[in-house]
Amino acid sequence: MQDFIVREEDSAISCTFSSTLDNVDKAVESIKFFFSSREIHCRQFELIYILREALNNAVIHGNKKNSALKVSCTIGVDQNVVSITVTDQGKGFDWREQIMKGPVSTDSSSGRGLKSMAHFGFEIRFNDSGNTLYLTKKII
């Protein structure tokens, strides 16, 4: 099976890849190119930052960097709403507990990934087990 698969439609792009950080970079580059080629105007820095957080979480925490496990992501734009779905093949996590946690100490070197998604105004949802993340935001 291929290590990295990308599929583009008119208003959505999907990537499926084995769990390495190099593949996160590859997915981000494919998605950046998709957004610029479709002339979709949004705050690209925020979008790419959030996307990286979601993909890093899936690779590092979800699949524990096990390259035999896959990460899938889909990004679509419909009626000025950008939707991001990221799924890993890990066992999930207690996202309810994570969301209830207070702010991360500025001295802490970790724990910012999930919090930063809310900082940038993305609505965050998970499936029950926590191995699929859904993010949405109005972009215009």
Partner 1 sequence: MSLIERKNGVVTMKPGIDIVASQCAGLKQEFLEIINSGEKKIIIDLSGTEMIDSSGIGLLISIRNSLANNGGGEIELINLTEDLRQLFKVMRLDNHFKIS
Out of 98, 116, 132, 136, name the contact with partner 1 by CB under 8 A. 116
Residue length, the chain?
140
Min CB(38)–partner 1 separation in Å: 20
- Which residues does 28 contact at the CB level (< 8 Å), separation at least 6? 48, 51, 52, 55
102 near partner 1, rule: CB under 8 A: no
As given in the structure block, the two tokens for residue 69 are 């496990």
113 near partner 1, rule: CB under 8 A: yes
- Which residues does 30 contact at the CB level (< 8 Å), separation at least 6? 6, 13, 15
Helix (H/G/I), strand (E/B), else coil: 101: coil
Min CB(23)–partner 1 separation in Å: 9
Interface stretch with partner 1, choices 67-75, 87-95, 101-109, 131-139 (CB under 8 A): 101-109
52 near partner 1, rule: CB under 8 A: yes
Tally of CA atoms within 13 A in the half-sphere of 31 that contains its CB: 30
Binding site for partner 1 (CB under 8 A): 21-22, 24-25, 45, 48-49, 52-53, 56, 59-60, 106-110, 112-113, 116, 119-120
